Structure 1
Amino acid sequence: MSCPAQPCAYHPGSDRYHVCLSGAAGRCFHYGRTCAPEHGCMHDAASGRYRRCEQAEEGRCLRFGDACEPPGACMLDRRDQLLRTCLDQADGRCSRFGDLCGP
């Protein structure tokens, strides 16, 4: 039996994605090595949007493309830095959040 894959989660303080070694209730508590999400939809801190990453390096996107929605619409709520399900998303931004999700 193999272990479940650990999620690649955004770390707001470092503006990078890292493997989440331990997390619940919308946040990661312990981060590991840098990573890039397989789906390629990453948070762009400069614009506050989720955008398709065209070139990632060491957990950071170096070149963003078009807006996207991450799997399950689980997006960073910048008000409290927690991951929440987005109930109303347009152009990579969430205007109304629901329950906690992820990591």
Structure 2
Amino acid sequence: MIAQAELVDRLNKFFNVAAFDESGDRRYFPAGYESMIERYLAEGFLSGTFNGLMLDNTAQVERVYLIVFPSTQALDTIIAKEVERGAPGALIFSHHMADYRENSGTFTYMAE
């Protein structure tokens, strides 16, 4: 088990997240999305580069899941596995913050 803060610090340094400002991606947000997700986001995420820790929901991380797109199916599977094992603490490391629909070429954002 590792402290989430330590893991995030290591990942931020390794990937040099401060050097890549992707905050312009908010232009793809559906109307009202930003205000809906704001209460769930890690402090400073919306005012930062849109890289690094997005959701701050555990102090300790026991397991890390790697995904490219956070589809509802992938997230539901991960959540079910974590609930089944008692939800001791997990981090989902995702390349994108939204799911991509190849057939329509659009992003699908997490529902509340």
Q: Do the structures match in fold with TM over 0.5? A: no
TM-score by length of 1: 0.27
TM-score by length of 2: 0.26
Higher relative contact order (CA 8 A, sep 6+): 2
Q: 1 or 2, which has the higher strand percentage? A: 1
Larger Rg over CA atoms: 2
Q: 1 or 2, which has the higher helix percentage? A: 2
